[in-house]
Structure 1
């Protein structure tokens, strides 16, 4: 693509976009608070600026950035002394099945990430977990901590009891998102709900395993992708159920369309289950009832886990 000599802004935009495309950088990263300052710094120097090489980014510049973060955390420590803070222990499992814990400190001045722990070998040992929390509390300052939030699983409960004896001044509370997930999980285990969840799972698997059907649905006006039910995120099942219910008419039109009837799927007896579910009035009525029951829980969960709250 060619540009005129007077189109410097367009040329600069094209150069940035090409970098994103070539490196497969998600476009949402252009919303980073550091994106425009980076461009401003380069523009200040002008043409001919040589960007930092790979080695500089992973060594000298990284060390400088680490020092800057340490100074920022130290600045936050002063705020913690003045107004107190809340510690959040965010436990999660990565793709390698490691049990990880992120420790974050909240205060009215902002949020600080202070420590990451691979607790795979000790996560169910309340005594060792207790020692991890003690180390963290001593780093932050016991007198500065007024509140601690963690999951409500059994080993965290045991850890909480031990720490309560040692630090009675600290107020403890379970994670709201974890509680809501447990509630949705209990609802999902109910016999009737598990049957509905199985039907939703069958529908999404059938759709996404057959390109012809998915291509047909994607041509429908207003169609959006359906979230597949997940084994570890209870809310995903209910969100998928809600999305399936929203596309009820599109799905019913699909299985009654000439394209589907003339296809090999319609003649395959193994796929009759897909059609039977979509044309079952009771299934759709049950979906509507469950959606109304859990709608407020899902809405509350979205609020609780939102990054801007």
Structure 2
């Protein structure tokens, strides 16, 4: 078990504990964290960030009793991943993902189809490995949309039609997917729905700047973009927003998130009406009460004097720098969703590949500092049978010796950045 400390100077390793032989109960976790709080000094600790596993939540309840002036906050990356995973499991989105997966599996299972794909995409891959299963799904859907025209040209080309793959059952199914308007429309709406939430995920999981004060505001913006994707049709967007709100409740809308949102000039100076939002103001007052317990004088000073100066842009708040704050800029050439290897992408390459990845986002305990809420102690366990699976399923894999007219060029991975757009097709009923 590891703990890291984050402050204005950055993130620093604080403590490590060998706990393999111990039961990771809420009480055990609480004692370990509480000892570290004592070492740092309770007056220096604002919040403790952990994932939403039940033992961590139990530890948080104990923390509230002993140290009510310290927030126990859910990991934003873990919460957003669960949110996206929940949406992706909805029938309309799951159908698109499964169709896309069957297409990529067929292409990667044969040397001839793989060579043709590389030829038409200029040696770029269509599958994009991500750090989680959902990240792989999102990135690959983006990649497919980017290469839509090339893939359609491939399966209508004479080389494809002359090959045995054009006559096989699965080959015909792949053609139907690539030529299906409903499939590409589904990919488009998937990206339009997932995209706004992925933006928030990328924001909170990068190391450029602290993102606490942006989480609530960007989540509100994402929800509005999702409504627009469905052309404000409540019957379509309400089930999605119910999942978003359900996962965010108590995790991404805590008093600390609300106070950060109010005290972020990027939002408040652009929209002064935020001070009339009862939910936001109540969260801010709760924070003040937690930070200054039993100190009515300081509470009054913060809420009645200092907050007024901030909202009215008085004193230093009237300076140009304060009135025109920059939004967090994305790090160039960095995408926190991309993975350096394909552990989470087996299901997009070989039939049954998902079965060889024993991983469940809903149950892991997050190691501090891990990317996207994935604990290093719970790394996916890959079976050595993946190669065996490919060789046993003859229809899914053809060896070099069995292929005819193999093309002679070097395969290269797709090194281009993922698209920021979410497709051009419009959603249709």
TM-score, scaled relative to structure 1: 0.61
**Partner residue of 2:14 out of 89, 107, 114:** 114
Per-residue deviation, residues 45-83 of structure 1 (Å, max 9, x unmatched): xxxxxxxxxxxxxxxxxxxxxxxxxxxxxxxxxxxxxxx
Match in the other structure for 2:362: none
Shift in Å, 1:114:
1.9
1:193 matches 2:93: yes
Match in the other structure for 1:174: 74
Shift in Å, 1:250:
1.1
Over alpha carbons, which structure has the higher Rg? 1
Superposed counterparts of 1:63-212, under 5 Å:
101-117=1-17, 122=22, 124-212=24-112
- Return closer, same or farther for 1:242/1:289 CA change in 2, 3 Å cut-off: same
CA distance in 2, matches of 1:235, 1:226: 14
- Return closer, same or farther for 1:132/1:222 CA change in 2, 3 Å cut-off: farther
Give the secondary-structure state (helix, strand or coil) at the position aligned to 1:219. Answer: helix
**Partner residue of 1:259 out of 147, 151, 159:** 159
Report which structure shows greater RCO (CA 8 Å, sep ≥6): 2
| Residues 123, 155 of structure 1: 8 Å contact kept | no
1:269 matches 2:141: no
- Return closer, same or farther for 1:199/1:119 CA change in 2, 3 Å cut-off: farther
Shift in Å, 1:229:
7.0
CA distance in 2, matches of 1:185, 1:167: 33
1:282 matches 2:182: yes
Match in the other structure for 2:194: 294
Shift in Å, 1:220:
3.5
RMSD value, Cα: 2.3
Shift in Å, 1:155:
2.0
1:247 matches 2:147: yes
Shift in Å, 1:257:
0.8
Deviates more, 1:109-118 or 1:173-182: 109-118
CA distance in 1, matches of 2:23, 2:82: 19
Q: Which has the higher strand share?
A: 1
Give the secondary-structure state (helix, strand or coil) at the position aligned to 1:173. Answer: strand
- Return closer, same or farther for 1:221/1:153 CA change in 2, 3 Å cut-off: same
Give the secondary-structure state (helix, strand or coil) at the position aligned to 2:69. Answer: coil
CA distance in 2, matches of 1:140, 1:126: 21
Count of aligned pairs between the two proteins: 209
Match in the other structure for 2:114: 214
Per-residue deviation, residues 243-300 of structure 1 (Å, max 9, x unmatched): 1111111111111111111112112223322111111110111111121112111112
TM-score, scaled relative to structure 2: 0.45
| Residues 102, 116 of structure 1: 8 Å contact kept | yes
CA distance in 2, matches of 1:270, 1:221: 21
Match in the other structure for 1:90: none
Shift in Å, 1:225:
2.6
Q: Which runs of 5 or more residues in structure 2 are unaligned?
A: 210-429
Match in the other structure for 1:63: none
| Residues 201, 229 of structure 1: 8 Å contact kept | no
Q: Which has the higher helix share?
A: 1
| Residues 123, 129 of structure 1: 8 Å contact kept | no
| Residues 63, 72 of structure 2: 8 Å contact kept | no
